Structure 1
């Protein structure tokens, strides 16, 4: 018979399972600092020895890491599932950028359709709050802040899709994007016209999500990423022209 005696679960194992679930669901993020041992044991209603035992197990499994004199963190290695060698290839080949955007188009189109179906009212409030912050940042003309909120807005839609595999795949990709592996997002926010257009594209995505219109959301995602492709190609061409201009200038100065 496929039965065995029921045994009470150790408190440390209950702690392990709770923290694992929070990481899996994307609530605890890579690099995030956990509360102090005292605060965490009080919040979870367990003794410090039980908590230490759980933390040790999570560290051994690679989910948590201790930083000397700083505390316990969710492992930063969870942010990217790509090897350093592959990351270098991504950074040095233009076709990786094109394929990255094509992949985002497919995955984010799926994400917004799922978010419109499965996202809770609170999920939509989170996304709306980030969009409001985007509007405020737009007025301040801070490229770094706008680029960061851009990523947070897109990730809020992925989170609202409630698919944990999609969540972690896209979080890894956005982690590489934040490091400038595919392209420098801040460049996209340096020109007024481009910044205005990007904000309006995000407004269309935002309105479709709030209306729970998956088809309109996918169309808005496609339009936005098509614009990104065009803007990046325009920047590449401008960079090529500038490189030639510098060579001409240096040659003229030498004569």
Structure 2
């Protein structure tokens, strides 16, 4: 008969599984510092030797990393999603920008549908809380905070869809966006009219989610990203026109 004696699990193994799941579910994020050893062992209810064994295992597998004198951190497991050469290609070619928006429109539309259907009440409260922070940041002249919250708002919707593969894939995409690989998000928020429109669009997405309307949620996300696409198209045309105008001015001064 295919039965074996049940063996009790080592405490370090239970710690490994708990930290693995926190990373997998996106609760512990890349670059996040773990609590100090004493505090973490107390929270987990295990001895410090058991915790050290678990941390060493997770480090060996590339999920945690140590920084001398600074502690233990979640490794940048998203860093390998795109090679440096591919990231440079993204940054150097406009084609990648619009393909990126197309990709986001498809994936985030699906994520919004999932969030409306599958998200818990607490998930949707997170989305609503971030929107409230966006509304507060909207009153500031500097758009940096609002631009940052924009990314957090979209990621909170993906988190509410409870698909860990989609979550980590989209986090890697948003990390590139934060680094300005695709476009400078703060440029989108410089004009007051554009900021007002973007905030209204985020409100519409939130309203659809809070009412648990998957179809409306998807349409609101798609409309928002289509607007972003049009804004970027207009910005690039403006840049081209300005370059031509500078050439004309330089030529006129030489005549």
Return the TM-score normalized by structure 1.
0.97
Deviations 1:182-227 (A, max 9, x none): 1110000000111010000111001000100111111111110110
Aligned residue in 1 for 2:162:
162
Residue ranges of structure 2 left out of the alignment (5+ in a row): none
Following the alignment from structure 1 to structure 2, what is the Cα–Cα distance between the partners of residues 77 and 236? 33
Aligned residue in 2 for 1:43:
43
Aligned residues of 1:79 and 1:175 also touching (Cα < 8 A): no
Aligned residue in 2 for 1:144:
144
Aligned residue in 2 for 1:175:
175
Aligned residue in 1 for 2:66:
66
Measured after TM superposition, the shift of residue 80 of structure 1 is: 5.5
Residue ranges of structure 1 left out of the alignment (5+ in a row): none
SS at match of 1:81: coil
Aligned residues of 1:80 and 1:176 also touching (Cα < 8 A): no
Alignment of 1:167-206 (within 5 A): 167-206=167-206
Measured after TM superposition, the shift of residue 95 of structure 1 is: 1.5
Following the alignment from structure 2 to structure 1, what is the Cα–Cα distance between the partners of residues 67 and 245? 49
Going from structure 1 to structure 2, the CA distance change for 1:194 and 1:80 (only over 3 Å counts) comes to farther
Q: Which runs of 4+ in 1 moved over 4 A?
A: none
Aligned residues of 1:64 and 1:75 also touching (Cα < 8 A): yes
Count matched residues.
255
Following the alignment from structure 2 to structure 1, what is the Cα–Cα distance between the partners of residues 253 and 193? 35
Alignment of 1:1-255 (within 5 A): 1-78=1-78, 81-255=81-255
Measured after TM superposition, the shift of residue 143 of structure 1 is: 1.5
Going from structure 1 to structure 2, the CA distance change for 1:79 and 1:25 (only over 3 Å counts) comes to farther
Measured after TM superposition, the shift of residue 8 of structure 1 is: 1.3
Following the alignment from structure 1 to structure 2, what is the Cα–Cα distance between the partners of residues 143 and 67? 33
Return the TM-score normalized by structure 2.
0.97
Measured after TM superposition, the shift of residue 96 of structure 1 is: 1.2
